[in-house]
Structure 1
Amino acid sequence: MASGLLIPLMSGLVGGSAAGLLTGAPNPMADGDFLAPWVCGVVYGGFLVEGVTLLGAFALYAHRRWGGLLRAPLGALPDTGTRALQRIFLIPAAVVMAATGAVHVLWGAGAKAGKGAAGADPGTVLSAAADWSQGLLALLGAGGLLLLVLPRLRPRLRVRVPLAAAWVGSGSVFACGGCPWLGHAVADGLSPGGTAVSGGPPGLVGALDLCAGLVVLTAGAFTLCERASAVRGNAGQRMIVGRVARRTST
């Protein structure tokens, strides 16, 4: 959730601000239409610092704890008991992520098809950058996911590359796409007659993002459990072999 919220926010904020400076498009954060400029600087500047600090610390922690696994080639990954079953669900999830990511990229490029009714708010440079960021991250996650479940495509590629792509991409899809849709749906269900849930393609994209994110989350939990079980099994075997060796020597 932290990766899925902070990385799109950071990339969308920086990309939208840069696009506004280069193109001269109005930036609601600088114009004071959203909040006072100094408030935006403090709040969103704090988010940037938080993102760089937390994500950087997590990257160092992951490298120290799972460095051996992250440096291993994809072809050396051991086959797990549920990999074949995971592949049945994860390949469609990757396709869904790629499809919704392509839709977000088109919306970020200015396409109006399916975005909303005629005469709706045309959006700002920041909203366009947010769509670009979310769409590209979803496409990146779909590619990383396919490489993880089909390691024969690039057997010499290090695990850390597709794993980071799948982690960030699926996190973005789940946190920035699926969870807001679910929150709006729950709020709309608790307040009948409200208009919280987006209809048409935006609502469909949100629902698909939620489903794809949950599938990836579940598969990741299964994989971690299997890896932890294998590590404990190997440790137990080594302990038994050591005891046998000591008894034999004595």
Structure 2
Amino acid sequence: MRRKEDVVRGVAAGIAMAATAPYLTLKLLWLTGSHVGARDPKALDSLWTVNLLTFGMDATALALALSFVRPWGRRAPAGLVAFPMWVATGLLGTILVAVPTDALASLVLGPEHRTPDQPHLDDTIADWVFTLVYGGFGVQGLSLMTAFVLYARRRWAGLLRSRIGDLPDSPTRNVQRAFACVAALVALAVAGVRAYWAAGGEVGLPIHWVEQRTRSIATMDAAMAAMAVAATVATLVLVFRIGPGRRLRGPLTVAWLGAGSLFGWGGYQLVAFGTETTVKDLPSATPGLMNLVQAGQFTAGVLVLAVGAMALTERAVQREQPSSRAALSGTEPPRDLAAR
């Protein structure tokens, strides 16, 4: 069984690495001055910093996929693997929800219609670039997550077999609950605003964003709203030990995906779109609400990350204590510790 899982993990990681190649190549061409796939070269040149950021993010995904199949990947510190994978899962998982939903909406409702003078993102980038990028993200997301699940089952098998009631009742429990409640309030506020924008609301959006809004962008807002609600519910289930006999892996997976989306997309959009200090004209101005929503996403993700870090660190310490006592008494530690 394990050999079969190793083969599947290797194939999935290989597909994930191959799926990064087109995107990394395109970004490298843009970073070095090429305008391939661009309808507006000047607009593309203004995105040099964003292109550098996204190139680094996809290069990290490539390194992650490699770590899932190499011996050094299991010896790497847990945080060095888990944190970037958490962010990658949030970013790619949201796309995996939004893109099929958008495709289904187009199938049911038909293509969007816009006036010839209406500005659109397609005026900057050729259609084939969107197909290449989001098609690659879809393949990359599915394969990278598959490889990670199999990697996690081997490295953290003990954790994934646990139940919610097995989480340690620690001195930081009240701190974890306080962080989780604040994160829930912020995330639900973010979800409300994102849902409002997804439904066609315009308050808080820059003028040029309103002019360029499409069904795809609305679908992405809806996906982010859903992720925020999922992160809220799953995190509260974990910190308040709701259903102690339930397997930990279910709510942990939902909290992982939802909080990763909050942190990843909130942080990315803040860096890519929310840090401009020069306003060329009024339509380019970004009202504070949009930046506030992005900052709220990022903050909620950080709070859930802090809760998870406290709980899992305490669990690891708790499981090391029997090992220390066993070493002092000369007995062998439990075999389950190998899965830490």
Please indicate the TM-score interval, normalised by the length of the shorter structure. Answer: 0.7 to 0.9
Count the aligned residue pairs.
238
Gaps of 5+ in 1: 245-250
Sort the Cα spacing of 1:229 and 1:9 in 2 relative to 1 into closer, same or farther, 3 A. same
Which residue identity does 1:157 align to in structure 2?
Answer: R
Query: 5 Å matches for 1:52-201?
Result: 52-117=142-207, 120-121=210-211, 123-151=213-241, 153-185=242-274, 187-188=275-276, 198-201=286-289
- Alpha-carbon distance in structure 1 between the residues aligned to 2:162 and 2:300: 27
How many angstroms does 1:182 deviate by? 4.4
1:197–1:203: 8 Å Cα contact kept in structure 2?
A: no
2:168–2:314: 8 Å Cα contact kept in structure 1?
A: no
Q: Tell me if 1:12 matches 2:98.
A: yes
Say which is worse superposed, 161-170 or 19-28, in terms of deviation: 19-28
Q: Which runs of 4+ in 1 moved over 4 A?
A: 31-34, 116-119, 182-185, 191-197
- Alpha-carbon distance in structure 1 between the residues aligned to 2:308 and 2:231: 13
Gaps of 5+ in 2: 1-86, 115-120, 333-340
TM-score (norm 1): 0.83
TM-score (norm 2): 0.63
Query: 5 Å matches for 1:222-237?
Result: 222-237=310-325
- Alpha-carbon distance in structure 1 between the residues aligned to 2:208 and 2:225: 23
Which residue identity does 1:82 align to in structure 2?
Answer: T
How many angstroms does 1:134 deviate by? 0.6
Say which is worse superposed, 3-12 or 139-148, in terms of deviation: 3-12
- 1:43-79 per-residue CA deviation (whole Å, 9 max, x = no partner) reads 2211111101111111122223323322332123221
1:218 is paired with a residue whose SS is helix
Sort the Cα spacing of 1:27 and 1:235 in 2 relative to 1 into closer, same or farther, 3 A. farther
Sort the Cα spacing of 1:60 and 1:34 in 2 relative to 1 into closer, same or farther, 3 A. farther
1:26 equivalent among 103, 109, 112: 112
2:205–2:286: 8 Å Cα contact kept in structure 1?
A: no
Query: 5 Å matches for 1:198-217?
Result: 198-217=286-305
Which residue identity does 2:100 align to in structure 1?
Answer: V
1:25–1:125: 8 Å Cα contact kept in structure 2?
A: no
- Alpha-carbon distance in structure 2 between the residues aligned to 1:86 and 1:178: 22
2:190–2:228: 8 Å Cα contact kept in structure 1?
A: yes
Say which is worse superposed, 136-145 or 221-230, in terms of deviation: 221-230
- Alpha-carbon distance in structure 1 between the residues aligned to 2:304 and 2:174: 14
